Structure 1
Amino acid sequence: MKESRINQIEDLVRKNKSVSIDDICNWFNISTSTARRDFDILEKRGIVEKVYGGLRLKSPEKNNLSAPFHTQILLSPYQERSSKNIEEKEKIGKLASGLVNENDVIFIDSGSTCYQLASNLADTPCTVITNSYLVLEALMPYANIQLITLPGTLNRKTLSFTGSEVIQGISSMNITKAFMASTGISVDGGVTNAESSEYHIKRRVCEKSREIYLLADHTKFNRSSLYTYCSLNQIYCLVTDSKPDEKTEAFLSSHGIRVLY
């Protein structure tokens, strides 16, 4: 049955050029984790490749003009970035999900690593505040999770809601734990982000949160983007996929910051 399902998924990708993980789960009545395992097997066959949110047929030509609508979404700038370091991000998401306790009030940032956290929260009754479209989509089926979305304008580059309305909404909230994304972290530059539209939002979230959990894979170490939204010593815990470099590890240790990998 499993092999038959995997072959059917491969046929669907060949026919449609791409499929989303949500469609596969609905068509075959399987869980997200089962679909991901099937995707891993298919990718090893060398015919398809995993992209953020699904699978696509491997091809030297990437002509989105003739592709169906859902394919164009999969190949948007956000998903292209998100298709990198998938295994590392999945690991971080699973680790971070273990830090969420029942009845916590948490903020989940936009970004592909934070999305992986949301994908692993189904069994934890809690309140989730977010400005991420994808986090909302991932958690919507679970009645045990209270979802609070922040109003704003959708930034299609980041798939997050931004604007002054988001900042105003956060200002009235008290957050237990904030799970934050970053495009670069360093001892000197702090926790940084490249998007000006998200800078003030991230900064305000950190100000309103009791504990800040930074979700960042090893490629973000010793890198700085344009905007520093909090200093490295403000975070409570770094959740990553591997041991940080010596300088970063020494700084975190000297400030009593937990590192989980």
Structure 2
Amino acid sequence: MLILERQQMIIQMLSQHNSMTVNELAQLCSVSKETLRRDLRELDEQGVIRRSHGGAMLLSTVINQPIIVPKVSNSGSSFRQRALINTDAKTRIARKAQQFVNPADRIALDSSSTCWFFARQLPNIDMTVITYSINMIQTLAAKSQIQIFVLGGAYSVVDEDMGGSITEKMLADFTIDKLFISCDGLDFDNGLSDNNDHHARLKKQMILSAREVFLLMDSTKFNRNSFAKICNLGDIDVLITDQKIDELLQKEMDWHSVKVIIA
């Protein structure tokens, strides 16, 4: 990630969360705390942020100004790039999804950026989380009450996760109470789809292992058909999104008994 891109990412995250710690920002940007502190020092000198002990906050003089973020699409983009897209919608969706998490739950998370926003907000309570995402593991490691089970496999540098047949086989050993996933597209005919065929197969296996499936997806992905099919609409139980869906799609969801929740 280029320095400018990383600093724009820092500004974007501070605009959403008001203030963040050095550890949080370094983890998000996948850099050392020393590198992150240099970025904060430069932004502080530019009058964009104000550093504090162990963190930073966005100055009020720039909060209402437009923030320029490198334009990227979901297709073929890295996890860190996807984490910059529609952050407000993903934050609202993640907060709404918290109501479905209870102590002693056994939940599974895919490696999507939306689920990463969800993982960041999970309460530190007694529960089990199954995931193949390095970012989920790093985020949840600070929550001492959460037991983490990691699905191994071939590591993807771009997606920062594990995948392949080994990962899929490991899923057979787990019983999942609640599965939280996202996807790249949703339409009437093809159901849920993903730009990555390896992710699509893995999510399909996770759905087969789960008792209840929650789709966390922002509205920009409606009526979009991506490369690889994941499942039909009837295979999910709850859709949590940021905007009201159109009437035809709502009827289709009702037909398949999918509960739609607007964050």
The bucket for the TM-score relative to the shorter chain is 0.7 to 0.9
TM-score normalized with structure 2 length: 0.74
Q: Name the structure 1 match of 2:141.
A: 140
Q: Name the structure 2 match of 1:204.
A: 205
Moved more, 104-113 or 116-125: 116-125
- Percent identity of equivalent pairs: 27
CA shift digits 1:211-248 (9 cap, x unpaired)? 11001000010001111111011100001111111111
Give how far 1:45 is off.
Answer: 6.2
Conservation of the 8 A alpha-carbon contact between 1:175 and 1:210: yes
SS at match of 2:123: coil
Give how far 1:260 is off.
Answer: 1.1
TM-score normalized with structure 1 length: 0.75
CA shift digits 1:3-23 (9 cap, x unpaired)? xx97xx9x95464569xxxxx
Q: Name the structure 1 match of 2:131.
A: 130
Conservation of the 8 A alpha-carbon contact between 2:233 and 2:256: no
Q: Name the structure 2 match of 1:243.
A: 244
Conservation of the 8 A alpha-carbon contact between 1:174 and 1:208: yes
Q: Name the structure 1 match of 2:119.
A: 118
Q: Name the structure 2 match of 1:60.
A: none
Give how far 1:40 is off.
Answer: 8.3
Conservation of the 8 A alpha-carbon contact between 1:177 and 1:209: yes
- Counterpart Cα distance in 2 of 1:15 and 1:130: 35
Q: Name the structure 2 match of 1:44.
A: 63
* Pairing of 1:100-249 with structure 2 (within 5 A): 100-249=101-250
Conservation of the 8 A alpha-carbon contact between 2:108 and 2:178: yes
- Counterpart Cα distance in 2 of 1:123 and 1:172: 25
- Counterpart Cα distance in 2 of 1:153 and 1:214: 25
* Pairing of 1:79-94 with structure 2 (within 5 A): 79-94=80-95
Q: Name the structure 2 match of 1:61.
A: none
Cα gap change, 1:243/1:206 in structure 2, threshold over 3 Å: closer, same or farther?
same
Conservation of the 8 A alpha-carbon contact between 2:124 and 2:144: no
Conservation of the 8 A alpha-carbon contact between 2:128 and 2:149: yes
CA shift digits 1:158-203 (9 cap, x unpaired)? 2211111111110111100110110001111101011122122111
Give how far 1:84 is off.
Answer: 1.3
CA shift digits 1:107-161 (9 cap, x unpaired)? 0111110001101113332100001111111100111100011111221222211
Cα gap change, 1:160/1:171 in structure 2, threshold over 3 Å: closer, same or farther?
same
Cα gap change, 1:17/1:49 in structure 2, threshold over 3 Å: closer, same or farther?
farther
Question: Are residue 28 (structure 1) and residue 53 (structure 2) matched?
Answer: yes
- Counterpart Cα distance in 1 of 2:178 and 2:241: 17
Conservation of the 8 A alpha-carbon contact between 1:107 and 1:179: yes
5+ residue gaps, structure 1, are: 19-23, 52-75
Task: Give the alignment's Cα RMSD to 1 decimal.
Answer: 3.0
Cα gap change, 1:222/1:120 in structure 2, threshold over 3 Å: closer, same or farther?
same
Give how far 1:82 is off.
Answer: 2.2
SS at match of 2:174: coil
SS at match of 2:95: helix
Q: Name the structure 1 match of 2:7.
A: none
- Counterpart Cα distance in 1 of 2:224 and 2:95: 24
Moved more, 236-245 or 121-130: 121-130
Q: Name the structure 2 match of 1:255.
A: 256
Which amino acid in the other structure matches residue 223 of structure 1?
Answer: R
Give how far 1:255 is off.
Answer: 2.2
